[in-house]
Structure 1
Amino acid sequence: MAALLSLSPGSVINQPATSHQSRKTIVCRRIARIRCGKASPSTDSSAKQDEEEETGNNALLKLAWYGSELLGVAASLFRPPREVESPLKGVELARDGSGTLDRSVVVQAIKQDFQRSYFVTGNLTLEAYEENCEFADPAGSFKGLRRFKRNCSNFGLLIQTSNMKLTNWEDFEDKGIGHWKFSCIMSFPWRPILSATGFTEYYFHPQTGRVYRHVENWNVPKMALLKQLLRPSRSSSKTKAPE
């Protein structure tokens, strides 16, 4: 009561103005929140454009991928196969008492396949993979060990020189990851150079121990690979693939 009586007349008159100002501030804040929560037309348009561009890039990359597969098949009809070691068909990998392949043996086989540049020779340990293994990369995926081997062998016919190295290996509960770097000079007239690093995920089947998923991941943008393929190089026919 003493505090109320001590207020000056001016203070009493100014009170409604303060209340009105507070209500005005609250309304402004609500409007600001609504505006912030609603995406602007330009943002929606930009997101849609990026999505359409990504879809177009994926379609173009898939077209190039299937085109290279067909080109490899055509090359295999006109070029004799290279003198490489035959695929390891009859190799028997160690198993445990239940018949499951030993993980360490499968991993060692994969590492040896890298030494044989299996990406471009098709010379891989078939026993380490399921027959219907899924093979995936940035361009697409398919199932079938024989198709993968054929594609790798045919791709090698399109390469003049290549260099592939396993740089690191990581073990996880259900998979292993092999980090690699790869470069090659294609045997096209303009001698394009492909160069990239990446990693491959090898998923092991819990019952058989074999690889049932083989997923390639490239540390370069998808379209950058296609641009490398279209870019002429100044290398001579004797130039080695960059390391």
Structure 2
Amino acid sequence: MAASISFCLNPSDFSPSLYPFKYLPTIRRFRCYSSLRDSSQTPQLLKSAVTGVTEILRLFSSGKDRPDNTKYIERDEPSISGIEDVMMVLKSDYDNAYFVSGNFTPTIYAEDCIFEDPTIRFRGRDLYSRNLKLLVPFFDRPSIVLQKIEKGINSQTNFVLATWELRTYLKLPWKPLISIGGSTVYDLGDELKIVRHAESWNVSAIEAVAQIFTPSFERKDNMLI
């Protein structure tokens, strides 16, 4: 999503995995999108293109807006004593549309948290924040709807699973409409900090990027948000 179809910076430690399927047996009543694509199928050329666009956005950001030193909005650190507390903070972040507003609660993430989606994988909470801030100015009438959020436990880790739908126009001359459904797995470490933020989409990476280049008037699902 935001930093997803987004143009995230790409360190060299790419080793994607489709997390929701790994955890599905441990969550009852959860039905995942039947068309979710494995990020390992994403062409390397597309991953490189996503990285290149991110670099261009970063370089052309005005000096005063370039977030070399990430500063977060001052807020009280939430008290986390269990998975339910993490879920409450995440739900609040979704209410704030954090994927398209950049307004999220950084203290629930480990500093070296891994972020991944079907096009990219990188490490670092601050880097994630900077990438979000690069994209926010390009969104027009964005909407991110949380459909479901639930907790799960398996033999390896505790985690939270959220399913959502994203719709936004982009401020480009041809007014492309981005419409993606998906899920995000938030893996929790020993201190209940999020150590991995892994997205899956109901479209392939190629289909998602193709939406950027499709004029909204050509989209059958083009409806005002």
Distance 2:57 2:149 in 1: 30
Aligned AA (2:213)? L
1:164 to 99, 123, 144: 144
In the other structure, the counterpart of 2:217 is 234
The unaligned stretches of length 5 or more in structure 2 are: 1-38
Aligned partner of residue 77 in structure 1, secondary structure: coil
Q: How many residues align?
A: 176
Q: In the aligned structure 2, how far is the partner of 1:133 from the partner of 1:147?
A: 10
- 1:103 and 2:83 matched: yes
* TM-score, structure 2 normalization: 0.70
Give the greater-gyration-radius structure (CA).
1
Is residue 189 from structure 1 mapped to residue 169 from structure 2 by the alignment?
no
Contact 1:161/1:185, CA 8 A, preserved across alignment: yes
Shift of 1:140: 1.6
| Alpha-carbon distance in 1 for matches of 2:107, 2:40 | 37
Residue 80 and residue 134 in structure 1: after superposition, are their counterparts in 2 closer, same or farther (change >3 A)? closer
Q: How large is the RMSD of aligned CA atoms in angstroms?
A: 2.7
Q: Which residue of 2 aligns with 1:225?
A: 208
Query: Structure 2 residue aligned with 1:61, among 43, 46, 51?
Result: 46
Displacement after TM superposition at 1:88 (Å) = 4.6
**Conserved in 1, the CA contact under 8 Å of 2:42 and 2:119?**
no
SS of the residue aligned with 2:175? coil
Counterpart of 2:129 in structure 1: which amino acid? Answer: K
* Mean Cα deviation higher: 176-185 or 218-227: 218-227
Matched, 1:147 2:132: no
Cα deviation, residue 230, structure 1: 1.0
- 1:113 partnered with 2:93: yes
Asked if the contact 2:100–2:143 (Cα under 8 Å) also holds between the matched residues in 1, the reply is no
For the 8 Å contact 2:83–2:151, the answer to whether it is kept is no
Q: Deviations over 1:168-200 (max 9, x none)?
A: 112101111000000111111111111010000
Scaled by the length of structure 1, the TM-score of the pair is 0.65
Which moves more between the two structures, 71-80 or 166-175? 71-80
Structure 2 CA distance for aligned equivalents of residues 136 and 78 of structure 1? 28
Letter in 1 for 2:48: L
Aligned CA distance change for structure 1 residues 56 and 125 (closer, same or farther; 3 Å): closer
What is the match of residue 200 of structure 1? 184
Moved over 6 A (4+): 78-81
**Structure 1 unaligned residues grouped into runs of 5+:** 1-53, 96-100
Secondary structure at the counterpart of residue 169 of structure 2? strand
Alignment correspondent of 1:211: 194
Contact 2:87-2:149 within 8 A present in 1 as well: no
Whether the aligned pair in 1 keeps the contact of 2:87 and 2:150 (CA below 8 Å) is no
Q: Which has the higher helix share?
A: 1
